[in-house]
Chains A and B, each alone.
Chain A
């Protein structure tokens, strides 16, 4: 044990001796780890959040289409839908997008008089009177307002409208609530300029989930200008999007790994004459081959673990505190994420383990293997200089 500590001590002093070189290696190494871990943290957290949202999503959403595009749906369609068996609540939804010229942000405006599942996590109250609003954290942040303040928006007729902020979503994480402004239904219709009797879409509760496809088919038959979207389809779309993005990410992931391998390979192929000589000296003065391999093992482990932990920490901060700014160019497609939002940290230990395994092991191996050849050679060459 003491022997091991002594060898570790020499490993540390060896590393300190080549401070700048080792620092450079740690920087590159940490950055690689950070990139890899950021990608995994980000996709994993987004997936979990999307999953959480979908958990609350209605089984069926009915949209009206017009010229192949999403159009406002007449509320009386609900009466046609109600004729089917096995249906629970039918709810017309009033929502739309709002471009905020002050802050160059996109907000989602949602009308609600009844508490929606996503309204669970809030501070203050939901709007109960006209002129009241509930806002997401992102809206509060870009507008720099909170509960008790006023939110001034420009309505569909170009006039300024004032809402009192009575509530705020606390879950800073939620992809859906971040850019959300919840108004009363009447306020929403007014503000976004809905024609009377029209809604954005209609959600349909299906009592027996196995019947969803069947009911969707019937609605489509009864109302040919609608498009029923099942929860399954949404999940599939999400999955496709995530998979596509994960694919992009994977590209970065692998290029980072390649960069890292180049670094490792460079180390593996080159062991300097100076290092060879030192190994010879140690052998000559009584170090075993195994002692030398242990020395190199410690050198590799110290660098690896330092870089690994630094990179992991940096990735955590990067993704969960700075909203993955470095990866932003790649994930631009997530326009729903604007205004900038914060993810709830979900970390998959298995993935962390994989990154560790894919980097630490090759690095340590690339430190030990080239020295191994020098370590098994007779130290005689040391005598000849």
Chain B
């Protein structure tokens, strides 16, 4: 493993509903390497296995077979409890459909990842305020999420992903529900995170993203497999 490798999969396979009639091989023997501090894009048509790969990389689920090595530790067979812990400590997620709790306030949404951690109320408030301020939505902190515009909701979602200061940010089709302008905003934010030294992994089939200059490497997927890429060594 090279010095700057942060995540590596080795022969990762994900089979949904194994042995059942609707068995589905979503990932077939996938080996990829994600480098620390880089922006990596997973591209491929819908159904090619991008979300499945992000899930096992982000410790949201476990591969049916193979290894998933996150920061030198194989997480493929870890019990659920440890996976939760890793998610909390290392990952921040930006989901395609924001996945905010729409009926509670902006600040509570952003604070939620900190609830199971050690932080006290005062510290949480401070961190949430700073974070919301940096996204220019501090004044909206008491509003319910459903009262916000799409762009504002997106910022709340990003703020929530970053509140626990993750090393790795995972974004699944983050621009799918955004207009071009908001998508550009988002890419600027992601580019900024990479500049700060964070590792960013994005699944998308939006050319706007994988043609963006901040993207360091692209992994193409098809039918649950990695397609050989000329520019990858």
User: Size range of the interface on A?
Assistant: 20 to 34
Interface membership of A329, Cβ < 8 A: no
For window 58-110 of chain B, which residues contact chain A by CB distance below 8 Å?
Answer: 60-62, 80-81, 84-85, 87-89, 93, 95-97, 99-101, 103-104, 108
Instruction: Please tell me if the beta carbons of B113 and A285 are within 8 angstroms of each other in the complex.
Output: yes
A378 within 8 Å of B (CB atoms) = yes
| Smallest Cβ-Cβ distance to A294: which chain B residue | B116
Q: Does B207 contact A (CB under 8 A)?
A: no
A residues 7-58 in Cβ contact with B at 8 Å:
7, 10, 13-14, 17
B223: Cβ under 8 A from any A Cβ: no
A289-B55 contact in complex given A13-B108, A17-B104, A385-B97, C-beta closer than 8 Å: no
Is B99 touching A10 in the complex (CB atoms < 8 A)?
no
A80 on interface, CB distance cutoff 8 Å = no
Write out the residue numbers on chain A whose beta carbons fall within 8 Å of the beta carbon of B108. Answer: 10, 13
Q: Which of A211-219, A275-283, A332-340 contacts B (4 or more CB under 8 A)?
A: A275-283
Contact check, A384 vs B51: say whether CB atoms are below 8 A apart: yes
Number of A-B pairs whose CB atoms are under 8 Å?
A: 90
Chain B residues contacting A3 (CB-CB under 8 Å) are 115-118
Is the C-beta of B143 less than 8 angstroms from some C-beta in chain A?
A: no
Residue of B nearest to A376 (CB): B80
Q: For the complex, is B160 an interface residue (Cβ under 8 Å from A)?
A: yes
Q: A284-B87, A285-B93, A376-B80 are in contact. Are A383 and B60 (CB under 8 A)?
A: yes
Q: Is B135 an interface residue (CB 8 A)?
A: no
Q: Does A379 contact B (CB under 8 A)?
A: yes
- B-side contacts of A13, CB under 8 Å: 104, 108
A10 and B112 contact, CB distance less than 8 A: yes
Q: Measured between C-beta atoms, what is the minimum distance from A32 to chain B in Å?
A: 28
Q: Is A286 an interface residue (CB 8 A)?
A: yes
Nearest chain-B residue to A286 (Cβ)? B88
Whether, in the assembled complex, B228 has its beta carbon less than 8 Å from a beta carbon of chain A, the answer is: no
Closest to B54 in A: A383
Neighbouring B residues of A143 by C-beta, 8 Å: none
Residue from A6, A14, A282, A291 in contact with B121 in the complex, judged by beta carbons closer than 8 Å: A6
Point out the residues of chain A lying under 8 angstroms from B85, CB to CB.
286, 288
What are the residues of chain A within 8 A of B113 when measuring CB–CB? 285-286
- Given A2-B120, A380-B61; A283-B115 close (CB under 8 Å): no
Q: How does the 8 Å CB contact mask read for B104-146 relative to A, with 1 for contact and 0 for none?
A: 1000100011111110110010000000000000000000000
Task: Verify if B164 is at the interface (C-beta below 8 Å from A).
Answer: yes
Q: Which of A2, A282, A289 contacts B80 (CB 8 A)?
A: A289
Contact indicator B104/A288 (Cβ below 8 Å): no
A106 to B55, CA, bound (A): 79
A186 to chain B, nearest CB (A): 79
CB distance from B120 to the nearest CB of A (A): 5
- Bound CA–CA A17/B105 (angstroms): 10
Contact with B60, one of A288, A376, A379 (Cβ below 8 angstroms): A379
How many angstroms between the C-alpha atoms of A13 and B100 in the bound complex? 15
Known interface pairs A376-B80, A382-B99, A383-B55. Does A286 touch B116 (Cβ–Cβ under 8 Å)?
A: yes
Indicate whether A287 reaches chain B with its CB closer than 8 angstroms: yes
Q: What CA separation (Å) do A17 and B89 show in the bound complex?
A: 29
Q: Is the CB of A380 within 8 A of B55?
A: yes
A288 touches B84 (CB 8 A): yes
Q: Within the complex, which residue of B60, B97, B99 is in contact with A380, where a contact is CB–CB below 8 Å?
A: B60
Interface residues of A in 241-258 (CB under 8 A from B): none
Q: Cβ of B61 and Cβ of A286 under 8 Å apart? A: no
Residue on A nearest B93 in the bound complex, by CB: A284
Measured CA separation A378–B58 after assembly (Å): 12
Taken together as a complex, chains A and B put the C-alpha atoms of A289 and B99 apart, in Å, by 19
Q: What mask results when residues 194 to 205 of chain B are scored 1 for a CB within 8 Å of chain A, else 0?
A: 000000000000
B95 touches A383 (CB 8 A): yes
26 contacts between A and B (CB under 8 A): A2-B118, A3-B115, A3-B118, A5-B121, A6-B124, A13-B104, A17-B104, A281-B99, A281-B101, A284-B87, A284-B93, A285-B87, A285-B93, A285-B113, A286-B87, A286-B89, A286-B117, A286-B164, A289-B84, A291-B115, A378-B62, A379-B60, A382-B60, A382-B95, A383-B55, A383-B93
Given A284-B60, A287-B112, 8 other A-B residues pairs in contact with their CB atoms under 8 A: A277-B99, A281-B99, A284-B93, A284-B99, A286-B164, A289-B84, A376-B80, A380-B55
B residues adjacent to A (C-beta < 8 A): 51, 54-55, 60-62, 80-81, 84-85, 87-89, 93, 95-97, 99-101, 103-104, 108, 112-118, 120-121, 124, 160, 164, 172
Which 7 residue pairs spanning A and B have beta carbons closest together?
A286-B88, A380-B61, A378-B61, A6-B115, A285-B113, A380-B55, A17-B103
